[in-house]
Structure 1
């Protein structure tokens, strides 16, 4: 009786799987001509995708095993599902990513190698499962290293010649000409171009040739529970939405060879031509390990970036924590940014970096569409330990960075906060324990509030706050709990309208140290 029952159950289950595969849109790739032995099966996978689309959509199911493929083009209503133990590897033969396709590459829309997984002008594209996608990027990395490390100009490869020919009418700024026309353009692992409802969930992605998850001009993008691992590799950013809206990034674990998460919107005149901002982005509950930056905005921001929230994340070992970067010529506005509840550790450079001088070779110019703008950015509830520099703010004279606030910040760093060429900056309840120099420096800036700022480790004969050519500064509600030699040092002929109010200086030897170039009185009460 038990044997009959068991046979009956197996029969019903087999029938269910068969019917389900046939009627519910589940296509087992092993039944569609593919193999899980690591033998190239691009054609079988692409045919399964095309077949599913013709049926109105469906799921291409990859059981455990190893699959080798070239570039794949995703279609409407398609899900790629990688079961636990499934490894989708991409070919190291560059010809398998031809012909060229339209994509945005480093902020410029152009023709180049197909992304490994590519979707264009479609809806409802999904990649899920507990399997792994391996871009086998080392072959691509070695080629770019070969070209960049050469001490003499090399003969162009067929791929470089193809790139030049395919993009001969594309115009870029002179500084970018070599990158666009001479270097080897590695493809992103995933790019959806002008798509709606894009979801990547649960999978592990490793060894990307270039940027890893790179939606462009998309609406409603979700990246949830994804692990990205690109060790010792060039320009292998983790997640880079560019000119997208309604983006949700959560519960991800990222360790890469460049920035972990970067928000972009196009480069220079090409970005302004497409004029599509990135907006309505949430980044939550993520951990970032190796990477140049934890969360970065720019430097390709010419289409503008706005309405971004970053919360409940951990950065451990990144070069920088939160980084905004742009330069003259880029244009665009970064605004309405909120960062909260962040823990940082082992940050090699700055915990916070706001830099409008990313290209140091530019010169001051009139304010035009080429002028980048950072404004209305607010950061709160951050703990940062073992940091090289707590914060650097660097504006440009024709467009100072403005309307930034920092609240409830606690930082252990070698160097403290530095504010240069900025206006309307507020620090509330900020503690910086710096090892070198003043904990807080304000240079060439105005309209600054420093409320309840302090250090628990005063440095001998070194001010807690240093002002140089700074004006309209309110320093209030401060209490140095520990013996301090100098609280404030002020210098520069442009330093004026400095107000100290409601401060307690019981443990301070010298409240104000005046520099020889100071022409204005410091008002205290």
Structure 2
């Protein structure tokens, strides 16, 4: 009797485990096909049906699928299984009518994103399959417009954009972009949504930015691959005006920035005034890209409380990059970067730049003034780097309260600071093939504690100061024969304190410039 009961229980359990799950809709059984024939209508109907029933999973088994843009709804999961390739049409007509979206930080009406949602919750895209944006047609259209010699006839899409975006506000520097009247769709853009999960899948060939939530809350992006090489503006992951964002275990190689944190552009961004905050980025690898992790340049709503850790950048143009300019406004603050390895960085390993618009002129401090402050970077190793780092503040708003701890970078050029206040270097080794390891100008309130180079250069100082004030240089011990430890110049240089330094291996401890006050250096 016990044996019979056991067999019955086993059969019931087996049947239950493999019973039809009413929450899953196999798209092949719902009017779609896996032969690469366009089936947008069937997929959208399946999404709408599941949403009407309270939610569900749209399942794409192995095979090839072709679709136009899809509108996601609350409580919907798109599951692309291993062996499945979901391709998006490259027919621009399929992305009409225009919808409200945010393009490079400005709200406008243009082509529908490939995945689009507004005012929804509990959205997910999962699986081990591939989602292909077939972006080449979009890229080629941009190239055609941008490389035209002289005026060319406007397409119907450009005329539609002009008609539907009358009165749009923008700064003069952005006119060149606006004048194109052609704005590609993001791969995934959802507006004012919450509880978003993207996991496991591969996104490739995005027409424009890839993962781009806007005004969203509670976003998790984990274990995905993004592959958009040799393509224009195909950023990887761009949360904008979002809060509570978790990015982990991702592998990214793209035609622009790998991960970028944003919050709107200029007056339009300040109008909404929604910061991106509470963001964690960890355990990611970045290969091709203009920047590994970037903040800005659209940061007019503010960006705060960001942590970046345990990441590898191998071959990106830059590593950690913060960029903005006069006119943007917004505050970037409370940033922590830790445990980072960089290799083959083509420009700066670290850059914080308020001169992204190089033509900008000094102006009174106002809502248009960008602010970078409270940024701390530690435990960073860089090899084969073009330039160790750059900090460029603006006269009316120096970059403030920055620290670097346990930094080891091998680079062609060293670290340059200009117009910064309250900056500290602790246990920082910058080994260069040209120029001073630390070159600091027009800055104040600095600490250089145990800084070094592993290969001193002939007649080149370890530290070079120009118009610098209130600076402590302490606990330094050049281990290798060094011609010049410190070179200082500038009429504004004063209050440079040298304490607890062992300079036995140094030929010239202080090299004074012609404009240096004799009392500027205190030993």
Q: TM-score, normalization: structure 1?
A: 0.96
Please give the residue correspondences for 1:258-273 in structure 2 after superposition, counting only pairs within 5 Å.
258-273=256-271
Residue of structure 2 in register with 1:4 after alignment:
none
Across the aligned residues of Structure 1 and Structure 2, the Cα RMSD in angstroms comes to 1.6
Aligned to 1:441: 439
Q: Of the candidates 481, 484, 487, which is equivalent to residue 483 of structure 1?
A: 481
Give distance in 1, aligned partners of 2:131 and 2:45.
19
What is the aligned partner in structure 2 of residue 96 from structure 1? Answer: 94
In the other structure, the counterpart of 1:412 is: 410
1:161 aligned residue: 159
Partners of 2:123 and 2:139 lie apart in 1 by 28
Partner of 1:511: 509
Question: 2:326 corresponds to which residue?
Answer: 328
Counterpart position of 2:232: 234
Question: For structure 1, which segment, 480-489 or 13-22, has the greater mean C-alpha deviation from structure 2 after superposition?
Answer: 13-22
Contact 2:161 2:181 in 1 (8 A): no
Q: Supply the distance in 1 between the matched residues of 2:427 and 2:519 (Cα, whole angstroms).
A: 26
Q: Secondary structure at the match of 2:425?
A: strand
Matches within 5 A, 1:67-466: 67-466=65-464
Name the residue aligned to 2:35.
37
What is aligned with 2:4? none
CA deviation map 1:176-219 (0-9, x unaligned) = 12312424211000011100001100000000000000000000
Q: Cα–Cα, structure 1 residues 95 and 16, in superposed 2: closer, same or farther, change >3 Å?
A: farther
Report the alpha carbon displacement of residue 507 of structure 1 after superposing the two structures with TM.
0.2
- Counterpart-to-counterpart distance in 2, 1:524 and 1:490: 12
Q: In 1, distance between residues paired with 2:181 and 2:252?
A: 27
Partner-residue secondary structure (3-state), 2:214? coil
Confirm or deny: 8 A CA contact 1:160 1:181 kept in the other structure. no
CA positional deviation for 1:82:
0.6
Partner deviation per Cα, 1:121-168 (whole Å, 9 max, x = no partner): 000000000000000000100000111111212221111111111111
Q: Which residue of 1 aligns with 2:5?
A: none
Contact map agreement 2:474 2:498 (CA 8 A) in 1: yes
1:521 deviates by: 2.1
The equivalent residue for 1:501 is 499
SS in 1 for 2:350: strand
- CA distance 1:471–1:36, change in 2 (3 Å): same
**1:49–1:12 distance in 2 versus 1, CA, 3 Å:** farther
Do the aligned partners of residues 202 and 470 (structure 1) sit closer, same or farther apart at CA in structure 2, a change above 3 Å counting?
same
Distance apart, 1:515 and its partner CA: 0.4
CA–CA distance in 2 between the matches of 1:48 and 1:328?
Answer: 48
Partners of 1:144 and 1:183 within 8 A in 2: no
Q: 1:175, CA displacement in angstroms?
A: 1.5
Aligned residues: 516
* Corresponding residue number in structure 2 for 1:20: 20
Change over 3 Å in CA distance of 1:129–1:398 after alignment to 2:
same
**SS of the counterpart of 1:407?**
strand
Runs of 4+ in 1 over 4 A off after TM superposition: 11-19
For residues 30 and 18 of structure 2, what CA distance do their matches in structure 1 show?
13
Give the distance between the partners of 1:92 and 1:192, measured in 2 at CA: 21
- Structure 1: distance between partners of 2:151 and 2:276: 37
TM-score (norm 2): 0.97
Distance 1:13 1:93 in 2: 48
Contact 1:496 1:520 in 2 (8 A): no
Aligned partners of 2:135 and 2:207 also within 8 Å: yes
Shift of residue 48 of structure 1? 0.0
**SS class of match (1:215):** coil
| 1:479 partner SS | coil
SS of the equivalent of 2:20 reads: helix
Cα deviation for residue 400 of structure 1 reads 0.5
For structure 1, the 5+ residue unaligned runs are 1-7
- Asked if the contact 2:493/2:520 (under 8 Å) is kept, the reply is no
Conservation of the 8 A alpha-carbon contact between 2:495 and 2:522 = no
CA contact (8 A) 1:163 1:181 kept: no
Cα deviation, 1:277-296, whole Å, max 9, x if unaligned, reads: 00000000000000000000
Structure 2 CA distance for aligned equivalents of residues 173 and 419 of structure 1? 28
C-alpha displacement of 1:15 = 6.9
Q: In 2, distance between residues paired with 1:143 and 1:520?
A: 63
Counterpart in 2 of 1:3?
A: none
Residue matched to 1:5 = none
Kept in 1: contact 2:230–2:254 (CA 8 A): yes
CA distance in 2, matches of 1:47, 1:17: 27
Contact 1:495–1:520 (8 Å) recurs in 2 = no
* Contact persistence 2:494–2:521 (CA under 8 A): no
| Change in 2 beyond 3 A, CA 1:303/1:204 | same
Cα displacement (A) at 1:368: 0.2
